[in-house]
Amino acid sequence: MKIDLAVLGRRFERHQTEYENAALRVLRSGYYVLGPEVEAFEQDFAAYTGAKYAVGVNSGLDALRLSVRALDIGAGDEVIVPANTYIATVLAVTENGACPVFIEPDACFGLSAEYLAAAISPRTKAIIVVHLYGQGADLASIMEIAKAHGIPVIEDCAQSHGAHFARRMTGRFGALGCFSFYPTKNLGAFGDAGAVVTDSAELAEKIRMMRNYGSKVKYQNEIAGVNSRLDEMQAALLRVGLRHLPEEIEERQRIAAEYREHISNPWLALPKKREAAEHTYHQFVVRSKHRDDFQRYLKEHGVTTLIHYPVPPHLAQCYRDLGHQAGDFPLAEEMAQEVLSLPLFNGMTQEEVQCVIDLCNDYRPILGGDEG
């Protein structure tokens, strides 16, 4: 059986009429950028997250980049980031001229509060917390440390749509919560899209201006901004997806529960669950000391997987100038060598789920030397 990591078309097919009606509504309106659909989606998404304000932007990266900029962070400043995140988290810092300070992850893939306080310096102007794979980071500990030092927190919620920590939704703990609506996300657009949520009227207004060339009124540019506008088509389609997001999160959690209950191979480590954190399973990530062999085995049996992520940002070629070397962040580097995302998507059939379970349980690594 051939099983892809994700089959996005099944989500569309489920709600095809709603999506098509939304698209036609936009096409017939003659209004395509920053119009009533964007305004309506911003209201809907703010209500969904519990935030006072939501601002639609072009992408998750722009959500992060503009949030860093909205806090007046720039050259000479430091921003603490996880060492095991996607490159976008770090790009948001460096594109504003600031310096990323990497922190090791904890066992649940989140930024480790254990290392946080020691990384804070007089130059630290923000902490970016990433809720990786759909599970909230250790927000209780992280927010306590941040508040004690008076440092604002930006939440990277690109993978945690709808996830809660202690009954509060991720994105609602820090000064700003940043979301990506890339098509593979739990709430996915049909192209690039993103949003920032906040309770600060000042920050919301600042990001609204920055996304639109720095202006409130057309051709009156109060600050130096960018073009990062959420378009009407994506906003209309996201409104459809948002209506169905709770049921689709429940579906992902049911599939994950089956994986957890039935995958019982000692060569594979299932993802750890954090106390007080809800997991919405943007990805179901296992670990194996024989990851590459395991991935080849699944591919030979028709199952597509992906490594999220094979190269930690501090070792990325684009950041060689930061001077980091292999071994600087051993926990993050170990994860990069061991993690593998199994297929999990909305519309996945029971037959597909069972096939993945059976293949995982049947796997045995090819051992050599002293490993046997």
Q: Using the 8-state DSSP alphabet, how is residue 76 labeled?
A: T
Cα separation, 357 vs 362, whole angstroms: 9
What confidence tens digit (pLDDT) does each residue in 319-339 have? 999 999 999 999 999 999 999
pLDDT of residue 223: 87
Show the CA angle centred on residue 79, arms to residues 76 and 82, nearest 5°: 145
Residue 7 tokens, joined: 């089959």
Reported as a single tens digit per residue, the pLDDT across 267-310 is: 999 999 999 999 999 999 999 999 999 999 999 999 999 999 99
The pLDDT value recorded for residue 195 is: 98
- Reply yes or no on whether the pLDDT at 372 is more than 50: no
Question: What element of type H or E holds 115?
Answer: helix 113-119
State how far the alpha carbon of 362 is from the alpha carbons of 163, 215, 358, in Å.
Answer: 32, 59, 6
What are the tens digits of pLDDT across the range 188-216?
999 999 999 999 999 999 999 999 999 98
Whole-number Å distance between alpha carbons of 26 and 14: 21
SS3 111: strand
All domains of the chain in start order, with CATH: 9-239 (3.40.640.10), 245-363 (3.90.1150.10)
pLDDT at 366: 82
> Of all residues in the chain, what percent carry a pLDDT higher than 70?
99
* pLDDT of res. 368: 63
Tens-digit pLDDT profile for residues 14-25:
999 999 999 999
Closest CA to 163 of 171, 173, 175, 155: 171
What's the confidence (pLDDT) of residue 197?
Answer: 98
pLDDT at 370 over 70: no
Pairwise pLDDT comparison (314 vs 223), residue with the higher score: 314
- CA-to-CA distance for 210 and 179, rounded, in angstroms? 17
Other C-beta atoms lying within 10 Å of the C-beta of residue 5? 15
pLDDT value of position 369? 44
- Counting every residue, how long is the chain? 372
Residue percentage of the chain with pLDDT more than 90:
95
Strands 99-103 and 78-82: parallel
What are the pLDDT digits (tens) for 101-148?
999 999 999 999 999 999 999 999 999 999 999 999 999 999 999 999
* Whole-number average pLDDT of the chain: 96
